[in-house]
Amino acid sequence: MTLEAVPSPLPPATAAAVTELARAAAQSDGVNPLSERTLLHLDGEHPGDLHVLAYIGEPGTLGVSGLQTVGDLVGYASLAPDSSAQLVVAPRARRQGTGTALLRLLLDHGGPGLRVWAHGRLPGSDELAARLGLGVTRELYFLRRMSGPLPKPVWPDGIAVRTFEPGRDETAWLGVNARAFAEHPEQGSWTSSDLADRMGQPWFDPRGFFLAVESETGAVAGFHWTKVEDSVGEVYVVGVDPAYQGSGLGKALTIEGLRHLQEDRGLSSVVLYVDGTNTAARALYEKLGFTTAALDVQFGPSDAL
Ligand SMILES: CC(=O)SCCNC(=O)CCNC(=O)[C@H](O)C(C)(C)COP(=O)(O)OP(=O)(O)OC[C@H]1O[C@@H](n2cnc3c(N)ncnc32)[C@H](O)[C@@H]1OP(=O)(O)O
Ligand SMILES: N[C@@H](CS)C(=O)N[C@H]1[C@@H](O[C@@H]2[C@H](O)[C@H](O)[C@@H](O)[C@H](O)[C@H]2O)O[C@H](CO)[C@@H](O)[C@@H]1O
């Protein structure tokens, strides 16, 4: 087995093989092994992104033309410029040391700031991490709510709600998102490119992207961006400008998006991700009937814990 670190961009054939590897793992494990950002960054050039390929063959046999066959690829890892990473080994190739080899290479390239996701904290991830001196540095809860009666949203005085208008609201949304998520490891640093990537996805639907605006000034005070992909409805991101936090706006926005997913999109359940340390959001979602369905964790060097 050969390990090869490839700076972005990946050859299209290789990107397709990684996508197929991730699909096979998701089918086998019941959990997507790679995050949305990682999947989005398989295609195209993303400076600073590093791809690691584990394949059956002599070094260099892949060539820049990409993989000869999907069967050649037995593992993949990605390392982002913020030192966050993910790795996946093909179900057919597990317990042969490929995961250990991928993680060692990530440590070599990522250094002490490395943070490796284990989506679903599947069997073996803790053991693999501990073997290389890594411990849990972050918990991301995956919550689910079955459809049912919703309270009516109570909007703060002077606030109106409308949906996102492409070509009009991008700059204002980036601003309120950055302010709302100033303390978040990823969300607050989204750029116009990150937003455009997602607006270009088949699931993007401005009719499910709610903005709370000041009636007098039109300024965006908060938002609830919903997502429906593969028939799964998600509270994708809810954010409230710090100036409005504690005003009831987050609850009203969350309810508005849940109503849309439940009634306009006819979904029987809704999911979301929330950091374990986010006490405010977790309290809000618990009040609205969300319960824990799974847990993603990030591992980092134990001496960094
Ligand atoms: C799926 C996701 O998007 S997870 C990420 C959610 N977004 C963020 O964390 C971004 C930063 N935080 C925010 O934007 C806001 O704090 C939000 C969205 C979490 C909450 O919005 P707010 O407008 O402040 O919430 P709101 O005033 O509607 O309060 C609703 C409930 O949330 C909970 N809550 C809100 N703030 C807090 C807090 N500081 N501490 C504990 N619970 C809180 C309470 O249960 C509250 O109900 P209550 O006031 O009846 O007790
Ligand atoms: N509630 C949001 C914004 S704070 C959140 O916590 N997002 C996480 C989450 O993102 C999900 C992930 O990318 C899934 O692959 C994708 O299918 C979901 O639609 C996303 O919501 O997990 C990410 C790590 O995997 C994390 O970086 C985001 O901040």
Domains of the chain by range and CATH?
2-113 (3.40.630.30), 148-267 (3.40.630.30)
- Answer positive or negative: Cα dihedral of 55, 57, 60, 63: negative
pLDDT tens figures, 132-183:
999 999 999 999 999 999 999 999 999 999 999 999 999 999 999 999 999 9
Residue 208 C-alpha from the chain's centroid: 18
Cα–Cα separations (whole angstroms), residue 133 to 130, 143, 233, 304: 5, 29, 37, 10
pLDDT of residue 13: 85
Query: Which residues lie across from 214 on neighbouring strands?
Result: 159
Spacing, Cα 77 to ligand 1 middle (Å): 34
124-160: b (≥16 Cβ within 10 Å) or e:
ebbebbeebebebbbebbbbebebeebeebebeeebe
Spacing, Cα 34 to ligand 2 middle (Å): 11
pLDDT of residue 64: 47
Residue 86 CB–ligand 2 contact under 6 Å? no
262 is in an annotated binding site: no
Rounded CA-CA distance 269/290 in Å is 10
Distance linking the first and last C-alpha atoms of the chain: 33
pLDDT, averaged across the chain: 94
Length in residues, the chain: 305
pLDDT of residue 72: 84
Helices (H) and strands (E) in the chain, counts: 8, 12
Residue 34 CB–ligand 2 contact under 6 Å? no
Atom of ligand 2 nearest to the CA of 275: 6
Question: What residues of the chain score a pLDDT lower than 70?
Answer: 61-71, 304-305
pLDDT of residue 276: 98
Residue 140 CB–ligand 1 contact under 6 Å? no
Query: What's the burial of 54, exposed, middle or buried (CB within 10 Å: 0-12/13-18/19+)?
Result: buried
98 is in an annotated binding site: yes
Type and span of the H or E element at 55: strand 50-55
pLDDT of residue 12: 87
Residue 180 CB–ligand 1 contact under 6 Å? yes
Q: Which amino acid is at 181?
A: F
Give pTM, 2 decimals: 0.93
pLDDT of residue 11: 86
